[in-house]
Structure 1
């Protein structure tokens, strides 16, 4: 389980939510996210990229870059994961976007008490 601390200082349980992203690929090799599209079809234009990350260390065949973005008045982290090719499975390199999404915890469950 992963946890994040909200801007109000509250710890919340989160999971990876894979999302579609419209991105601009620059001639210099840069990748700039423009719009995030949620699974249910809602789209959120990115007003500003506050911090564009670079890919970190290769761990278990994956590298991750973190982008700090502003969607309206809300700031959040958007992650781009680069997965190495797996020739034995016929898979090439993949780029996958994801965000941390808050888990929905039912009131009265043991997880609700832990938060």
Structure 2
């Protein structure tokens, strides 16, 4: 199976301690997926599509998925990074 890096819109909460907690993924067609919970957070790379950053193991409708936050190396402005998922090529 082939995969691609799919950048997605994400709604997130920023905690007082600075931790970013994603709460919803919004797909390019407008479909919304509420994140039930974050099961794990670690620095990791995507083995399927390349890239690295903060890998969130999230639970959506009882299914475990990876959601990556790719940090912008040049944090001079308001763009601190972007979110992506490992999407199956169709």
TM-score by length of 2: 0.82
Does residue 1:44 correspond to 2:33, yes or no? yes
**8 Å Cα contact 2:43-2:52 kept in structure 1:** no
Structure 1 residue 64 corresponds to structure 2 residue 53? yes
Gaps in structure 1 of 5+ consecutive residues: 1-11, 57-61, 105-115
Q: Any conservation in 1 of the 2:37–2:59 contact (CA below 8 Å)?
A: yes
Larger radius of gyration: 1
Give the TM-score of the pair, scaled to structure 1.
Answer: 0.66
Q: Which runs of 4+ in 1 moved over 6 A?
A: none
1:95 and 2:84 are equivalent in the alignment: no
- In terms of fraction of residues, the more strand-rich structure is 2
Cα distance in structure 1, aligned partners of 2:37 and 2:80:
25
Higher percent of residues as helix: 1
1:85–1:101 Cα change, 3 Å: same
2: CA distance, partners of 1:68 / 1:96: 16
Instruction: State how many pairs are aligned.
Output: 85
Cα RMSD over matched residues?
2.3
Go from structure 1 to structure 2 and tell me whether the alpha carbon gap of 1:72 and 1:92 turns closer, same or farther (over 3 Å shift): closer
Report the counterpart of residue 21 of structure 2 in structure 1: 32
* Contact in 1 for aligned 2:58/2:67 (Cα 8 Å): yes
- Whose relative contact order is higher, 1 or 2, with alpha carbons under 8 Å and at least 6 apart? 2
Structure 2 spans left out of the alignment, 5+ residues: 46-50
